[in-house]
Amino acid sequence: MSQEFDLFRISEEHEMLREAVRSLAEAKIAPFAAEVDELGRFPQEALDALRGSDLHAVHVPEEFGGAGADALATVIVIEEVARVCASSSLIPAVNKLGSLPVQLSGSPELKAKYLGALARGEGMFSYCLSEPEAGSDAAGMRTRAVRDGDFWVLNGVKRWITNAGVSEFYTVMAVTDPELRSKGISAFVVEKGDEGVSFGAPERKLGIKGSPTREVYFDNVRIPADRMIGAEGTGFATAMRTLDHTRVTIAAQAVGIAQGALDYAKGYVKERRQFGKAIAEFQGVQFMLADMAMKLEAARQLTYVAAAKSQRGDGDLTFFGAAAKCYASDAAMEITTDAVQLLGGYGYTRDYPVERMMRDAKITQIYEGTNQVQRIVMARNLP
């Protein structure tokens, strides 16, 4: 599935992928989106559909049994799933987030074992960085890992962990040398079945209600030393490199949510009649739609440029990843809010999907670094 691409042309292969994912999403994911949101249940239908089409973790390289999708193909998958159900789009997005540290820094044996398991659909991957007292200040984490012979023993709490309790595998950042701050943090793979791993109650959230968000507890979790990802003390650097790449996937999620809202609003204003004509014929409505489409296309192009830079590993990826995530999520919040406005009172009800899209869009401005943090990142990495 991997293919070279430039900044101005999407390949035929990528467009074919988009058509395939859109068809699957509309047929097998969209019908359950409202129920998933209303009941706050995991979108098992989406996982089954994505896994059945080998779209649950397309980023895994072919050598480990994956589809070997490039960064743009991964973005397209997430975008098209998010267009109908943001909660479901977190399956491929978080599988990449959780497993990318292994792909970037893991030993050959670790890659073969865990990337292979992910590609085969044997379990999802989650990412454990944030803690109750270490959100934006991730280097201030307190989870500890202490060496004990051929093992490491982990103790601590991680918070805001997407798909916690459903995922089988967890990339966990823990302090191995408290004196070194960020350079004393190491990364590990922890399995759901490891003794001492447990989970808190699901958070009651504004949006993405179908994707469980829970605390993860580590109580004397004893894991083999070969489950460390990379060398001791390199975990924080790996975590930040990971976010450079995966912020592009959050931008893709935001673009997809915004596209779904715009599509629905366009259809509605053509059907809704007031004062003897479709409200789509009123200039005020046309201006709103034009602004929504303009912001969406700008967000999409910035996201695709960032995906190209992610694929190539460009030196300015840190700036572009932050810029894409920040701009696309801000645009998604504006576009979904305008979609609710265009539907009027109907837009404010759960009978129509745009209120769900508006709620779902909000989180894209917060997770994987708030947009205030993104602006700090951009300012420190100006091209």
Catalytic (active-site) positions:
368
Strand partners, 152: 147, 223
Give dist(CA 173, CA 130) in Å, integer.
9
Strand partners, 151: 148, 224
Give dist(CA 138, CA 130) in Å, integer.
6
Give dist(CA 312, CA 127) in Å, integer.
23
Farthest-apart Cα atoms in the chain, separation: 80
Give dist(CA 154, CA 147) in Å, integer.
9
Give dist(CA 272, CA 290) in Å, integer.
18
Give dist(CA 64, CA 313) in Å, integer.
21
Encoded tokens for 30: 């969209």
Give me the residue label for tokens 């959050």: 250
Give dist(CA 210, CA 89) in Å, integer.
10
268 φ, ψ (degrees, to nearest 5): -65, -45
Q: Is 134 strand, coil or helix?
A: strand
What residues contact 120, with CB distance under 8 A and at least 6 apart?
A: 65
> Which residue intervals of 176-282 are DSSP H helices?
235-271
Give dist(CA 321, CA 337) in Å, integer.
24
Answer yes or no: are the C-beta atoms of 57 and 122 closer than 8 Å: no
Give dist(CA 169, CA 197) in Å, integer.
11
Tell me the pairing of strands 144-148 and 151-162: antiparallel
Measured over the CA atoms of residue 221, residue 193, residue 156 and residue 217, the dihedral's sign is: negative
Of 139, 58, 152, the C-alpha closest to 99 is: 58
